[in-house]
Amino acid sequence: MGVGRARISASVLDADLSNLAHAVRRLEKAGADRVHLDVMDGHFVPNLTFGPKTIRHLRPRTELPFDAHLMISEPGRSIEEFLDAGCDSITIHVEIEEPIEPTLRRIREAGRAAGLALKPATPLAALEPYAELLDIVMVMTVEPGFGGQAFMRDVAREKILPARKVLRHKAYGGEVHVDGGVNRETAEFVGALGADILVVGSALFVKGRDMGREVRLIRALADEGYQFQLNDGQPPIPRDSMVRFTALPQHLARELMDRIEAGGIPVIMLRSDGRMNPNGVRDYDLLVPATAEALVTERHATDRDDYGRRADAWRDAFAEPAESRPR
């Protein structure tokens, strides 16, 4: 788990496609956070790459999560194959002519993240009818089809920051991806617009450059943009870190955990080295994502006090009968 905020999803489009297993191993060693898989059908875009079978065979070659980016006209026909292939997220294009909703629903039903991607000329408003079904918004800053094209700065400026609003229904875990032309020259700019996931292709496969250094550099530049241009100089909250919200006896911890999770925020319940209870079991910590701490506090500060009082009452009640029992 990395520190910082930005994450790199490495596109293998510009790798040697006859040896994808080698490419993903290299990316993993270089510290990429995920693999971005560009599927093209020669119809939606004027290029062809690979399909679900290739992804399925690639799946056991790395531990990294797979983000599939389907630049195909009819994703509905093959969605089961992409799910079976082991994609962690699947993003389809909003410009396709077949119904979009059933495919997004199917992706989510299968427990994966669902996304919609936008070509440079497509306005963000096109996503609104599907907003509630989205975990990912992918802003394309090149025309889809080929790696190594020039970054479209105006498109980024117009869409990346507002893309967050499309994901407003997600209390936690919504992601804005930026895809196309992201490299050491443009990373700070997209970081400053709050992009969560930077798709990076050709910049990682430049001969003579160290891939690991490139990954670290791009991530650091994106975080620097975020910190100094979007976040008033405050360092970003590390994306994967968890913080303690409260500690409670087990049965109460479980109840409060369910309440918090009902609002779309994941909780980890851990037996701690804190307070010992009269039943001989210490309190459990409830850990929440650091990035959602403020929201959890806003929603559940009163719950936290109430549960604290219930814990005291439970401890007293547990201790009393034993004391009043005749010897």
Q: Which residues are catalytic?
A: 38, 179
37 binds ligand DX5 (CB under 6 A): no
Reading the block at residue 4, the tokens are 């910082």
Residue nearest to Zn ion (CB): 69
Q: Where are the beta strands (DSSP E) in 163-241?
A: 175-179, 197-200
Separation CA 273–CA 285 (nearest Å): 9
Binding to Zn ion (CB under 5 A) within 129-188 occurs at: 179
**Partner from Zn ion, ligand DX5, none binding residue 149, C-beta < 5-8 Å depending on class:** ligand DX5
Stretch that binds ligand DX5, among 78-86, 101-109, 175-183, 243-251 (CB under 6 A): 175-183
Separation CA 137–CA 123 (nearest Å): 12
Helix (H) or strand (E) holding 35: strand 34-40
Residue 39 or 79: which CB sits closer to Zn ion? 39
In angstroms, give the least distance from the CB of 93 to Zn ion.
Answer: 10
Site string for ligand DX5, 84-123 (x = CB under 6 A): ----------------------------------------
**Candidate list 54, 78, 149, 277; residue touching ligand DX5; CB under 6 A:** 149
**Partner from Zn ion, ligand DX5, none binding residue 35, C-beta < 5-8 Å depending on class:** none
The CB-based long-range contact list for 20-29 (8 Å cut-off, 24+ gap) reads 20/50, 20/54, 20/58, 20/61, 21/58, 21/61, 24/58, 24/61, 24/62, 24/64, 25/61, 25/62, 26/211, 27/62, 27/64, 27/204, 27/211, 28/62, 28/63, 28/64, 29/212
Separation CA 152–CA 189 (nearest Å): 11
Stretch that binds ligand DX5, among 7-15, 170-178, 215-223, 304-312 (CB under 6 A): 7-15
13 binds ligand DX5 (CB under 6 A): yes
- List helix spans (H) across 2-96: 20-29, 52-58, 75-84
Residue 130 or 146: which CB sits closer to Zn ion? 146
Residues that bind ligand DX5 (CB under 6 A): 11, 13-14, 36, 38, 69, 142, 144-145, 147-149, 179-182, 199-203
Residues that bind Zn ion (CB under 5 A): 38, 69, 179
